[in-house]
Amino acid sequence: MEIEEVLKNKPFQCSCGRKHDTPLGDVVVKEGALQEIPMLLEKYGIRKPFLFYDENTFAAAGEKVNAVLRKSGIPFSDYCFGKERIAPNEAAVGSAFLHFDQDCDGVLGIGSGVINDICKIVTNKTGKEYISVGTAPSMDGYVSGTSSMEVDGLKVSLDSHSPIAVVADPDILAAAPMRMIQAGIGDMLAKYISICEWRISHLLIGEYYCDTVAKMVKESLKKCVDSAEGIRDRKPEAAAEVMKGLVLAGVAANYAGCSRPVSGMEHYFSHIWDMRSLQFKTPSDFHGIQCSIGTVLTLRVYREIMKMTPDEKKGDAYAEGFDLNDWYGKLRGFLGESAEAMIRGEEKEHKYDVAKHHERLKRICENWGQVQGIIREELPAEEAVLNVLKTIGAPQSPEEIGIPMKDVRTTFTMTKDIRDKYIGSRLLWDMGELDETADRLFG
């Protein structure tokens, strides 16, 4: 399933009952790709683009884009963020809006994660079209309809404007900082978990699920895993395959209309570490690096789940004895002010409601064999993921990125509170097994 083939066949009526579509029209990942930017601007009616980049991405590709536009006689305005790593927060978005030239009728975002997310928010608010110029195969959010941002201390996914085109030169991608390339692979390794949990949620609580979208995600994951050795050797063709896989995953999320196919419990390890870093200046790393470590940890959790048999009496007793106010205190102690958004979320979601819990627990007990079957079908052995990380030289444990195991236990128990999404830690809470599992694995 090649990204070019997918785009040729959009929109289409899917067997899941939905019509799938994406704003993405072109993906140009090849040698000399930047030379095609003037053609794409003309195709989409953009006469004067506004360029966003930082000092690093300007050196990687921005200067070349400037030269291409000048040679073609295309006027543009631009803004360059500083050399320091940009925080994905209100201040960065505000700076982008303050510098934006309203005479421009489109945006070129030259960079990867944060710059791409900022550009998607700017174009969502201004109604301008957006073309993404990738400089690193570092994350799967290039074409997703959301932006991952920090708002009021909480990591959230904001609705945003997907690009109409993605442009990337494999030589530029392969020359990106290796940590960023490792992050891209890490973000994709998370898809083992996300698809597994999506299927489990569909089975247990009736969440929408699409097998076509799931197959797209798994195909994009395979592209990235198969490219690990080439990534280690910085081969442009491997970087191109990873980039196409990342874009394909983003299209899959567009088709589903949510992040469910591409993120699960492993992402929430990362979100909580980001929130603690924001509040308490504790260590954090690139999103994809943290997600890959979260994937390893989550595979350990599911290995434990496979050994279990749900007990309705145990699960009901656990839920009835759960002290929500005490739990709120623990959230505030570990996450500071950012806990308040999670607490407000629970006030709307009521996932700890005893009656709702009992109904879920009955479904778990009735369908336990199918739950285990999904886990067997979707999840690889932990060693397989560790081998990929070892091949590309990426961190494999929380300690390697400065996160002590004592914090991992607490993080794990709090992953269920980030979003109203049914994931492994919520399954364990429903069964009354969450604390015992946390103690065994991370105590």
pLDDT digits (tens, 9 = 90+) for 176-205: 999 999 999 999 999 999 999 999 999 999
**pLDDT for position 152:** 74
Token representation of residue 291: 């997600």
- Mark the ranges of the chain whose per-residue pLDDT is less than 70: 83, 153-155
Asked if residue 36 lies in contact with residue 167, where contact means CB atoms within 8 angstroms, the answer is yes
Tokens of 9: 């066949």
For residue 319, the one-letter residue type is: A
Beta-strand runs (E) in 72-180: 77-81, 106-111, 129-134, 146-151, 154-159, 165-168
> Across the chain, how many H-helices and E-strands are there?
23, 10
The helix/strand/coil state of 167 is: strand
Predicted pLDDT at 154: 65
- The pLDDT value given to residue 156: 74
Residue 197 has a pLDDT of 98
Instruction: Specify the pLDDT at position 297.
Output: 98
The domain 3-185+204-255 is placed in CATH, from the list 3.90.1170.50, 3.40.50.1970, 3.60.20.10, 3.90.550.10, at 3.40.50.1970
**Amino acid letter, residue 414:** M
CA distance 401 to 266: 16
Beta bridge partners of 19: 13
Q: So what CATH class is 257-442?
A: mainly alpha
Q: How confident is the model at residue 153, as a pLDDT?
A: 64
Residue 329 corresponds to which tokens in the numbers above? Answer: 């205190």
Structure tokens at 205: 């609580």
Q: In sequence order, what are the residues at sequence separation of 6 or more whose Cβ sits closer than 8 angstroms to the Cβ of residue 292?
A: 182, 183, 185, 186, 187, 189, 190, 385, 389, 394, 395
C-alpha 129 chain-centroid distance: 23
pLDDT for position 26: 97
Q: What residue has token string 């999904």? A: 374
Reduced to 3 states, what is the DSSP secondary structure of residue 185? Answer: helix
> Which run of H or of E encompasses 27?
strand 26-29
At residue 75, what is the residue type?
P
Scan for tokens 């940009």, then name that residue: 86
Per-residue confidence (pLDDT) for residue 147, from 0 to 100: 86
Domain locations along the chain: 3-185+204-255, 257-442
CA-to-CA distance for 177 and 174, rounded, in angstroms? 8
How does pLDDT run across 290-313, given as a tens digit for each residue? 999 999 999 999 999 999 999 999
**Per the structure block, which two tokens stand in for 171?**
């030589």
H/E stretch holding 315 reads helix 312-320
- Using only the alpha carbons of the chain, give its radius of gyration: 22
Let me know: does 192 contact 296? Beta carbons within 8 Å.
no
Predicted local distance difference test score (pLDDT) of residue 217:
96
